[in-house]
Amino acid sequence: MADYYEVLGVERTASDEEIKKAYRKMSRKYHPDIAGPEFEDKFKEVNNAYQVLSDSDKRRMYDSGVDPNDPNAGGYGAQGFDMGDMGDIFGQFFGGAFGGGSQGPVPRTQPGRDALAGMSIDLKTAVFGGTEHVTINTFVLCPQCGGSGSADSKKPSTCPDCQGRGTRQKVVRTMLGQMMTTAPCERCEGHGTIITHPCQTCMGHGRVRSQREVGVNVPAGIADNSRLRLSNQGEVGEGGGAAGDLYIDIRVKSDKRFTREGDDLHCWVQVPMSWAVLGHDVDIDTFDGEETIAIPAGCQPEQTVTVRGLGVARMRRNEERGDLIAHVNVLIPTKLNDDERGLIERFAQSHDSGAGRIAQSSKPTVGKKGFFSKLKSALG
């Protein structure tokens, strides 16, 4: 017997809400449209597990060692005797004194399932937001019959076998002998009605699988690995039922110029040694266009220059953005001609002649900490 608790990844003491949450997670993970057609059997296994564990009567049967989904479980299969049939059985023998009875025909119109898709956006879209499009493969309303499932637009007629009840009585063998119980009508599949002339496009289901493009409004400031929910953009249900929701997993692609840290953007600029010593204005690219920043005189390697308000939009604060932080990388020349070497030597004699013994420390003593140094210190 399959371990349905293990299939959903929950404990045997899990509550109904925990089982429902686990089912939603696993069904999205193994949905054939997302994981691929090779996971269709796994997806069915997840649904079978939820069908049992979400029903209190079936769960009690399963916990007692009987699988309600097993047609060979001594008459306790999905189409045979189960706890839900007890009222029907006693009703046949005792005039319904024990309650129960048929739950009625299954509606042809069913709500659709949720769908999941992934989408990659560039960093600039994450900064400002915008509209992106994603193509999904899911069930849509049948264009031929408009969801009715009928080729001639006629309403379904009453099933002559079950007289509209959706179920038929049948005799099953149990440990107590032969007993009368009820099962879904095979002719109408439990609906109680029959579509006389089914639509040839959807074969009477009212929906077909198709690719379609969906516009997604990406909010400014969205983070990598975020999930967006689009109401009623998922699968259309059987019989043209209301569509489920569409969930979009957002991945933010890496950018060649900027690295994002929270609501701030970081970039690294290389400047000649003379610019760092004397100071200099530098033009850098930003998502808002070209921006001039001032390298201060005496700038040290990995010193930062901050430009306020040119970072990522803060989602919880309207019209506010983080900062753009430029890290200065000072280029030290490796090849000098005689004149250049002479200049450096004269500078050293004038500026560094009194340096004496060098200072030694276990921590930086000159200049500001760089971005990665700060990160390393923060992480211990």
Residue that has been written with the tokens 């210190």 in this structure = 377
Residues 6+ apart with CB under 8 A from 289: none
User: What b/e string do you get for 285-310 counting C-beta neighbours within 10 Å, with b at 16 or more?
Assistant: ebbeeeeebebeeebebbbbbebeeb
Residues of the chain with CATH 2.60.260.20: 109-156+195-254, 259-354+363-375
pLDDT value of position 270: 93
Q: Which of 328, 326, 311, 310 is nearest to 367 (CA)?
A: 328
Q: Provide the 8-state DSSP code for 219.
A: P
DSSP secondary structure string, 61-102? Answer: HHHTT--TT-TTSTT-STTS--GGGHHHHHHHHHTTTT----
Predicted TM-score (pTM) of this structure: 0.62
Give, in degrees to the nearest 5, the angle at Cα 263 between 257 and 269.
30
3-state secondary structure of 34: helix
Yes or no: say if 313 and 220 are a contact pair by the CB < 8 Å rule: yes
pLDDT in tens, 58-94: 888 888 777 777 655 544 443 344 444 444 444 444 3
3-state SS of 142-155 is CCCCCCCCECCCCC
Give, for 215, the enclosing helix (H) or strand (E). strand 207-218
Residues of the chain with CATH 1.10.287.110: 1-78
Tell me how far apart the alpha carbons of residues 80 and 103 are, in angstroms, rounded to a whole number. Answer: 15
Q: Which of 159, 157, 112, 106 is nearest to 136 (CA)?
A: 112
Do the annotations mark residue 299 as ligand-binding? no
Do the annotations mark residue 202 as ligand-binding? yes
Find how far residue 50's CA is from the centre of its chain. Answer: 20
Do the annotations mark residue 159 as ligand-binding? yes
Q: Largest Cα–Cα distance of the chain, in whole Å? A: 115
Q: Provide the 8-state DSSP code for 222.
A: P
Tell me how far apart the alpha carbons of residues 248 and 138 are, in angstroms, rounded to a whole number. Answer: 14
Class of domain 259-354+363-375: mainly beta
3-state SS of 267-290 is EEEEEEHHHHHHCEEEEEEECCEE
Residues 6+ apart with CB under 8 A from 70: 1, 76, 77
Give the CATH superfamily of 109-156+195-254.
Answer: Urease metallochaperone UreE, N-terminal domain (2.60.260.20)
Yes or no: say if 27 and 12 are a contact pair by the CB < 8 Å rule: no
Yes or no: say if 282 and 292 are a contact pair by the CB < 8 Å rule: yes
Tokens of 180: 């009368």
pLDDT value of position 76: 43
Measured CA distances, 348 to 39, 339, 352, 354, 355 (Å):
70, 14, 5, 10, 10
Do the annotations mark residue 142 as ligand-binding? yes
Question: How would you class 211 by CB atoms within 10 Å of its CB: exposed for 0-12, middle for 13-18, buried for 19 or more?
Answer: exposed
Give, for 296, the enclosing helix (H) or strand (E). none
Tell me how far apart the alpha carbons of residues 311 and 127 are, in angstroms, rounded to a whole number. Answer: 7
Residues shown for the chain: 380
pLDDT value of position 2: 80
pLDDT value of position 133: 95
pLDDT < 70 positions in the chain:
1, 33, 70-103, 174-177, 317-319, 353-360, 363-380
Q: Which of 296, 282, 314, 305 is nearest to 371 (CA)?
A: 305
pLDDT value of position 364: 61
Do the annotations mark residue 267 as ligand-binding? no
pLDDT in tens, 139-182: 999 999 999 999 998 899 999 999 999 998 877 776 666 777 78
Angle between helices 56-63 and 40-53 (to 10 degrees): 100
Architecture of the CATH domain 1-78: Orthogonal Bundle (1.10)
Q: Which of 12, 51, 180, 20 is nearest to 114 (CA)?
A: 20
